[in-house]
Amino acid sequence: MTELAILDRPSPNIDARDGTVDMLVIHYTGMTSGAAAIERLCDPEARVSAHYVIEENGALHRLVREEDRAWHAGVSEWGGRPLLNDCSIGIEMVNPGHEWGYRDFPEVQMQALETLAQGIVKRWSIPPERVLGHSDIAPRRKDDPGERFDWPRLARIGLAIWPEAANDPEPGRFLDIEGVMALTRAMVTIGYDIEDFGKALTAFRRRFRPDSLRSGSPDNVPVMRDFLIAREVAARYPAATPIQPGVILDEFIQEDG
Ligand SMILES: [Zn+2]
């Protein structure tokens, strides 16, 4: 693994952590250029920051030391735990985002991310299920890093999770009300804030069924594929205590045959 050259550009938008690092959050900048994004992340008036920014050419900037709390997550929640700036490291991937011409993350940018993230998860013992997207922990407000972010690629080197059920493109039938309830319980168990279920489902699909958002016909009708993926992830990587016994999920899936 090659050494990464780090450009230090300290941001004033920091304070002390109230907790230990146990989560890594991936963002996109959602601005027209990397320079503009770094400017904003260092602007005291903006009151936002991140630990790192990776440009599309792979250049890596450190704005906040990992020991300090950066202000990247905002109002956020995972597995019932709020205030995730306390326990997380934030990486901003430069990309115009959905507002300014969302595009693929270039190979050199992904390589830089992989090298950086491997060091971070090792230093802080962060398990792969706690490497998350901003939209996972703030589904009501955020869309980043979005459906073009290559989670399977990170999963192949142990930097994220990718469930078996997500490899099957078949959406399956629409869920009935029992199925939607089971899906909801599984999503809560995984860690999602489901207060706005439609937005939570979209965030879940950005993460685990990205093709469903790239096909150009987005919808919010829960299907069997959503449930199968959620059930697998909830069983293997629960962030929250299951709110219903797992047997209920099993009963439901047997009904479907
Ligand atoms: Zn973000």
Looking at domain 6-156, which of 3.40.80.10, 3.40.50.12780, 2.20.25.190, 3.90.1150.110 is its CATH number?
Answer: 3.40.80.10
C-alpha 256 to ligand 1 mean position (Å)? 37
Q: What is the pLDDT of residue 218?
A: 57
Q: Which two tokens stand for residue 31?
A: 């601005």
Q: What is the pLDDT of residue 245?
A: 47
C-alpha 29 to ligand 1 mean position (Å)? 7
Q: What is the pLDDT of residue 26?
A: 98
Are 208 and 163 in contact, with CB atoms under 8 Å apart?
A: yes
Can you tell me whether residue 182 is helix, strand or coil? Answer: helix
- pTM for this structure? 0.92
Q: Is 114 labeled as catalytic in the residue annotation?
A: no
C-alpha 53 to ligand 1 mean position (Å)? 11
Can you tell me whether residue 16 is helix, strand or coil? Answer: coil
CA distance 250 to 179: 11
C-alpha 21 to ligand 1 mean position (Å)? 18
Q: Which two tokens stand for residue 211?
A: 């093709």
Angle between helices 197-208 and 224-236 (to 10 degrees): 80
Residue 84 pairs with which residues in a beta bridge? none
The residue annotated as part of the active site, out of 92, 178, 195, 251, is 92
C-alpha 179 to ligand 1 mean position (Å)? 31
Q: What is the CA radius of gyration of the chain?
A: 18
pLDDT in tens, the chain (257 residues): 467 899 999 999 999 998 899 999 999 999 999 999 999 999 999 999 999 999 999 999 999 999 999 999 999 999 999 999 999 999 999 999 999 999 999 999 999 999 999 999 999 999 999 999 999 999 999 999 999 999 999 999 999 999 999 999 999 999 999 999 999 999 999 999 999 999 999 999 999 999 998 776 557 899 999 999 999 999 999 998 665 544 445 444 544 43
Q: What is the pLDDT of residue 248?
A: 47
Domain boundaries, the chain: 6-156, 164-256
Q: What is the pLDDT of residue 4?
A: 84
C-alpha 144 to ligand 1 mean position (Å)? 5
C-alpha 92 to ligand 1 mean position (Å)? 7
Q: What is the pLDDT of residue 217?
A: 56
